[in-house]
Amino acid sequence: MDPRIHDALARCLHAINLDHAFGYYPSAEQKAQLDALAIGIQPLIEALAAEPYAGKGLGCGYLGHRGYRTPWAAMMYRLRDSRSSHSLSWKDRLEVLFDTAGLDATEMLAWTLQVEDDILRDHLLLHIAADLAIEGDMARVEEEITPRLRPDMAHRADRVLLMEYARRGDVDAFLRKHKKASQRQERHTLLDARALLVEQMATQQGLDAALRFSEATQGFGDSYRAAAMRTYAATVDVATMRAWIAAHATLFATAPGLEEELLVTAYAKGPRPDSIDDDDPFDELFARVDAIDKSLRHGDARLRDGLLLDLGIAVGPGARRLQCRKKIGNASIKRELDSP
């Protein structure tokens, strides 16, 4: 290991354990001591950020939304110019140093088990679990990481495995773990993992396979069918998507706005066929989206506004983008079409 990184890891570990010893209400002198440690390590963080990356490329932290981890570059960007002495900042520094040095699980575990703060230690254990899962060593997650987590955190290791099985499209392994996983704790990550699984199935096995699975498997249903359809829509052109919708019309009887969403997705993200301008489906899609019930929501925004935004971005600068912008009701979404 680079001696500079070894020194930095030792400093981070010292700071975390010192912060833990000081407790929730450090004195001004203790706070100044932690601040000095943060300032002292920063030149090395800055130097490492400027050097060519030589880590494992697996990212940092827990496998979160749809299997996302913070990339090394994003973590380094967050830490550059940082003087924070907060305990979570020390945890971030440890994770990015683990990644920078390309440490294996055994090496990371040796450092992590020296952390006296059980909350931060669990976060670092989940970082190691995510590395192992991505590398395919699921057994080691269950044998070495899960038993070291506090009882009320052990379910998060299950979520790491579920998310990775979903990302791989490994249906059998996912269902085995899903059957044993708690359905109550961190339910949002369980829902994310299910959605990711059907999306990967739609990509790897085809949309019809993903739909059959969603229909036949307990815990899945309408919302997961829609996730599979959205994934498929991003891979085909509008004509293909329109034909598929026509052949499966019964699926849309109780899903207002879903047809328009899939067609716009195909237009914005799918391949564009070679055609003359008269064959461009923009006018038809614009009219259909404009007619969508304004009360329909997609997340925190109106579905209609979101689809108008997608159309406006897809067509590029010009009269059509302005046409979409004019119809958007939400001011902040409207502003997203202001730039060229």
> Using one digit for the tens of pLDDT, what is the confidence trace for 259-314?
999 999 999 998 876 654 557 899 999 999 999 999 998 888 899 999 999 999 99
Phi and psi at residue 302, to the nearest 5°: -70, 140
> Using one digit for the tens of pLDDT, what is the confidence trace for 163-182?
999 999 999 999 999 988 77
Q: Which of 78-82, 112-116, 164-168 is least confident?
A: 78-82
HEC string for 8-40: HHHHHHHHHHHHHHHCCCCCHHHHHHHHHHHHH
Average pLDDT, the chain: 91
Q: Helix 238-247 vs helix 222-233: angle between axes, to the nearest 10 degrees?
A: 150
pLDDT of residue 108: 97
> Using one digit for the tens of pLDDT, what is the confidence trace for 13-60?
999 999 999 998 999 999 999 999 999 999 999 999 999 999 999 999
- Token representation of residue 4: 């500079």
pLDDT of residue 278: 52
Confidence class of residue 238 from pLDDT cuts 50, 70 and 90? very high
pLDDT of residue 276: 46
Helix (H) or strand (E) holding 301: strand 301-302
Percent of the chain with pLDDT over 90: 75
CA pair distance 48, 149, nearest whole angstrom: 31
The three-class DSSP label of residue 297 is: strand
CA pair distance 303, 177, nearest whole angstrom: 34
By C-alpha distance, which of 192, 254, 258 is closest to 226? 258
pTM value is: 0.84
Region of 52 (left: φ > 0; alpha: ψ -120 to 50; beta: rest) is beta
Tokens 């304004």 identify what position? 294
